[in-house]
A and B are shown apart, each in its own frame.
Chain A
Amino acid sequence: MIIPAVQITSDQQIFWQHGFVKLNETIVTTWGMMIAMTLGSMLITRKLATERTISRWQSALEMVVTGIEGQIKEVGLDDPEKYLAFLGTLFLFIGTCSVCIVFPGFKPPTGSLSTTAALALCVFIAVPLFGIREQGFAGYLKTYIKPTVIMLPFNIISELSRTLALAIRLFGNMMSGVMIVGILLSITPFIFPIVMTLLGLLTGSVQAYIFSILAAVYIAAATRGIKPKPAAQAKPETSPA
């Protein structure tokens, strides 16, 4: 039995090329997702209502936004409004890309190392930006020598390595899901690929959550100066104000 040459990423499917500018499947799917999500949100938020009866779509969006805000607050960032745009975009983009693998023929753009590296670079740039905005330049640089001065090279290395880990983790999870389904389709095309697609849905959603929570934890560490624990302690439930 010959296993056909499997494309490892969707970077290799090129639709149009001019010189060195390539329009490959990753770019097409990324822009398609962006346009779909932006258009959908614009349609839903055209007439925001505050009376008792709100449309279903608006309350769904409100659930999503308040959910993300609650998660950001639990990580330790006291003013979630400032970070909601960045972290919410990360979660929604990666989550929607993962969920859309139910559509046949859709290859998630996060299954390409270019996309995940770009997202990880965004986090890499955003963490110092938020840190400097909160604590000032000198205050942010002081976080690098936080426990002792000897930790300076280790802190710098950990900055780089955790960015790399973010990219590779997301890429590996999404790419393995796509590849498993692709290989299974040539071996047992009946029920098993559907089961693996379900597993891919689960891991994709968990990875979206992980990516944004890790970004929130890094930002919290940079804006506060001490490393908070990523596990939220069990706080007693307070009644909503």
Chain B
Amino acid sequence: MDSATLVAVVSIATAGITTGFGCMGPALGEGRSVASAMTSLAQQPDAAPTITRTLFVGLAMIESTAIYTFVVSMILIFANPFWNHFLSQAGGK
């Protein structure tokens, strides 16, 4: 297996695994935060606007780690510098 094929295979496999693993952690964290938000809403319904706003802010912060993994996957598939290096080499030949 020459190096170009190896780069392609590893990039594609890593891109899939990155998004797969990268979505598990944030999903668990968001589930726990929504659960505790529900509990506090049940205990104090008149603080609902504050709780909801804080919940959304916290969810966006947790989401950002999932977004990091997504960006890495996109870079591996669409803007891969190693693959572009091989493409330019093959184009130059």
Comparing A87-95, A127-135, A151-159, A168-176, the segment that makes contact with chain B is A168-176
A136 / chain B contacts, CB cutoff of 8 Å:
none
Interface string of A163-187 (1 = CB under 8 A from B): 0010011011101100100000000
The prevalent SS among residues of A at the interface is helix
Please provide the chain B residues from 39 to 89 with a CB less than 8 Å away from any CB of chain A in the complex: 44, 47, 50-51, 53-54, 56-58, 60-61, 63-64, 67-68, 70-71, 74-75, 78-79
Number of interface residues of B (CB under 8 A): 21
The size class of the interface chain A forms with chain B is 20 to 34
Identify which of B53, B58, B74 contacts A179 (C-beta below 8 A): B74
- Is A72 positioned at the interface, with any CB of B under 8 Å from its CB? no
CB-based contact B68/A213 at 8 Å: no
Known: A206-B56, A234-B47. A8 touches B61 (CB 8 A): no
Identify which of B44, B47, B57, B71 contacts A171 (C-beta below 8 A): B71
Please provide the chain A residues from 1 to 18 with a CB less than 8 Å away from any CB of chain B in the complex: 5-6, 8
- Is A231 positioned at the interface, with any CB of B under 8 Å from its CB? yes
CB-based contact A230/B57 at 8 Å: yes
- Is A195 positioned at the interface, with any CB of B under 8 Å from its CB? no
CB-based contact B64/A165 at 8 Å: yes
CB-based contact A234/B50 at 8 Å: yes
CB-based contact B70/A176 at 8 Å: yes
Known: A210-B57, A232-B50. A172 touches B67 (CB 8 A): yes
Known: A8-B78, A8-B79. A172 touches B70 (CB 8 A): yes
Please report B residues at the A interface, Cβ cutoff 8 Å.
44, 47, 50-51, 53-54, 56-58, 60-61, 63-64, 67-68, 70-71, 74-75, 78-79
Please report A residues at the B interface, Cβ cutoff 8 Å.
5-6, 8, 165, 168-169, 171-173, 175-176, 179, 206-207, 209-210, 213, 230-234
Pairs across A and B, CB under 8 Å, 14 listed: A8-B74, A165-B64, A172-B67, A172-B68, A172-B70, A172-B71, A173-B63, A175-B74, A209-B56, A210-B60, A231-B50, A232-B50, A234-B44, A234-B50
